[in-house]
Amino acid sequence: MIGDEQGYVKRINVRSTEIETFDRATMIVPNSNLVTGVVKNWLRGDKVGRIKIALAPNSRVDPEQIRDILLAAARAQDGVLRIPAPQVMFLAMESNIFRFELWCYVEDVEQATRLKSDLHFDLYKRLADAGVTISPAPTPPTVVQFPGLDKFAAAAAGIVVDQKLLDDEVAKVIDPNSKAGEAPAQ
């Protein structure tokens, strides 16, 4: 694996290496990139590879039920190895979601993408049958700041504020070019 590309080394030359991707494309990679960059060797002498599937259901689910569903889906796939056995990692308990990962090994890393897709289809059906919903990613809160708004907030809270100072701040918000004591331009 080089960057986002994966494939087999077909030929090593003096200045470059030829790699055939799993999409059957040929990449010519300068050997200097291989020496200075990160290269991940998925095969290590065999074709066994690992699949990880992340899942984030809402926090009202039973974690044991999620583990059972994930393991049943992995065991139902023919290409998933029995040894090492599939595992479910319970990674986090957040305020509105739980985070899980299914780890399973496949006998042929070239089939990992297809098996991962099959697992997703199977998991979707099993989770729907069990009434489990997947939570959307939480959106960060939007913060809008208005200069001088703290004086308005103080007035709304019943705190006594100098009326002239408050009028001047209102004028600045309405017309930023106004000066203290002037009426806003109409």
| pLDDT higher than 80, residue 42 | no
Integer angstrom CA distances of residue 16 from 13, 25, 38: 5, 16, 16
| pLDDT higher than 90, residue 98 | yes
* Sign of the torsion formed by the C-alpha atoms of 32, 38, 44 and 46: negative
Structure tokens at 100: 């899980």
| pLDDT higher than 60, residue 85 | yes
Confidence of residue 103 (pLDDT cuts 50, 70, 90): very high
| pLDDT higher than 60, residue 185 | no
Average pLDDT over residues 106-132: 92
Integer Cα distance of 59 and 42 in angstroms: 35
| pLDDT higher than 70, residue 43 | no
pLDDT of residue 122: 96
| pLDDT higher than 80, residue 100 | yes
pLDDT of residue 53: 95
Integer angstrom CA distances of residue 103 from 51, 96, 139: 6, 23, 27
Integer Cα distance of 131 and 127 in angstroms: 6
The average confidence (pLDDT) of the chain is: 81
Confidence of residue 169 (pLDDT cuts 50, 70, 90): confident
